[in-house]
Amino acid sequence: MTDKSSNQMWGGRFAAGPDAIMEAINASIGFDKRLAAQDIAGSRAHAAMLAAAGIVSDKDAEAMREGLLTVLSEIEEGRFAFSTALEDIHMNVEARLKEIIGDPAGRLHTGRSRNDQVATDFKLWVRDQLDAVDGALVTLMRACLAQAEAGADWVMPGFTHLQTAQPVTWGHHMMAYVEMFGRDLGRVRDARKRMNECPLGAAALAGTSFPIDRQMTAEALGFDRPAANSLDAVSDRDFALEFLGAASICAMHLSRFAEELVIWSSAQFRFVSLSDRFSTGSSIMPQKKNPDAAELIRAKIGRIFGANVALMTVMKGLPLAYSKDMQEDKEQVFDAADNLMLALAAMDGMVRDMTANKDNLRAAAASGFSTATDLADWLVRVLGLPFREAHHVTGSLVALAEGKGCDLPDLSLADMQSVHGEITEAVYDVLGVENSVASRTSYGGTAPVRVREQVQRWKEILG
Ligand code: ARG
């Protein structure tokens, strides 16, 4: 005899119900309720297929499909009583279906298992997230493009080692992020393409002896095809890991951008003003306007990296096929997805609202001997010096200017000639930052003409 407290879905061989601690460690309903819509879509597709294949009657399938919609609306309207004893979303939904439609509900689980069911539900969820991230990335890229277009020829310092290196344009700097987010978009789209195979019908691990039509369920759920190996279909979570991998790289890009915004908005730099809408004040220092959104983007990235490492670790030692360890996949992905979407939206808001301080950018670009390379190039081009010698002469001129407390264009011609006698007045043309950026016309360079071409190219790509 089965104990009354044993599980109503699988308790046939059990004489007693689970210990409270067993129930606590085993249940996933606390988090996998987020898969409700996907679970119900999967079950509705499965029910329709069972009828089409003659495995259940049309009448039963119709009752299941209708009943499942009722369950969905109960969940969506917050009227559904989730039960921990029923472990997860799959059994909660099925048990409720039984209450609503009675016996036909018991036929729904023909030719499938929770193993292919959960893999299908989770794939559908991850696929939706990939699409959401895709949209958010495009939105953010448009915000960067607008900044780039407005400031295609605004001059700012370009850094290496966070030391002034050479002048670049604001537009060029913004477009660097468009390239990064563009690759993130590519990764998201690649992942979606690769993952779009349907596990449903793989059953527990070996397939089923029922004459199911996997093509039909795959199509109904928007998959490109059914997964070709039932063991693989129920036991890999590489699709979730690809999502986390792509999310991690994107998050890394967001974090670098966030770091730049923190630096740029500081009183020492004043390259940008962030809008009030994306800043906070201090409760004690009235002058403060803090870039909290940027800081939180920078920090949240840790959770996304963490999720990636956590799920890799869950998966790495599992023998085929399904193991309960894999239930630990969901919370990591949910948290990473939520935080990535939040970070993308916050970055989009900040970029849209921020004002670049053109004059400060220009002034900073002109300091720190930023056109020293232009000077060295001039010595090569006009005086025919070998680059090594030109580098040395320029270094001496920088030292001279530094000693005088001025910048390179402030040195007199006599000062210049004291270091190299053949230098002429014409050198001053290349010492200006506008000329410097305008001269960098090589493909991918910072010249405003090149930047505008890239803005145009990306506008066409994004449509
Ligand atoms: N809640 C489970 C999970 O998320 C569903 C699959 C359970 N399968 C099983 N054989 N116990 O992985």
pLDDT for residue 11: 79
Residue range 353-397, pLDDT digits in tens: 999 999 999 999 988 898 899 999 999 999 999 999 999 999 999
- Does any ligand 1 atom lie closer than 6 A to the CB of residue 7? no
Task: Please tell me if the CB atom of residue 118 comes closer than 6 angstroms to any atom of ligand 1.
Answer: yes
Task: Tell me which of 88, 205, 320 to substitute to probe ligand 1's pocket, judged by most ligand atoms within 8 Å of the beta carbon.
Answer: 88
Compute the average pLDDT of residues 80-101.
97
The fraction of the chain above a pLDDT of 90, given in percent, is 89
The reported pLDDT for the residue numbered 103 is 97
Cα 55 from Cα 57, distance rounded (Å) = 7
Catalytic residue among 57, 73, 282, 367: 282
pTM value is 0.93
Ligand 1 centre distance from Cα of residue 206 (Å): 16
Q: How confident is the model over 233-264, as pLDDT tens digits? A: 999 999 999 999 999 999 999 999 999 999 99
Q: Which helix (H) or strand (E) holds 355?
A: strand 355-356
Are 364 and 269 within 8 A, CB to CB?
yes
Nearest CA to ligand 1 atom 1: 88
Taking the centre of ligand 1 as the mean of its atom positions, its distance from the CA of residue 175, in whole angstroms, is 45
Best residue for ligand 1 mutational test, from 33, 115, 237, 328 (most atoms within 8 Å of Cβ): 115
- Residues 6 or more apart whose CB falls under 8 angstroms from that of 292 comprise 279, 280
CA of residue 133 to ligand 1 center, whole Å: 27
User: How sure is the predictor about 4, in pLDDT bands with cuts at 50, 70 and 90?
Assistant: low
Euclidean distance between CA atoms 113 and 110, whole angstroms: 8
88 lines ligand 1 (CB under 6 A): yes
Assess whether the C-beta atom of 326 lies below 6 angstroms from ligand 1: yes
Is 161 one of the catalytic residues?
A: yes
Look at residue 5 in the predicted model and tell me its pLDDT: 66
Residue 152 · residue 448 · CB < 8 Å? yes
Ligand 1 site, residue 154, Cβ cutoff 6 A: no
Both ends of the chain: CA-CA distance in Å?
Answer: 66
Q: From CA 255, how far away is CA 308, in angstroms rounded?
A: 16
> How far, in Å, CA of 436 to CA of 447, rounded?
8
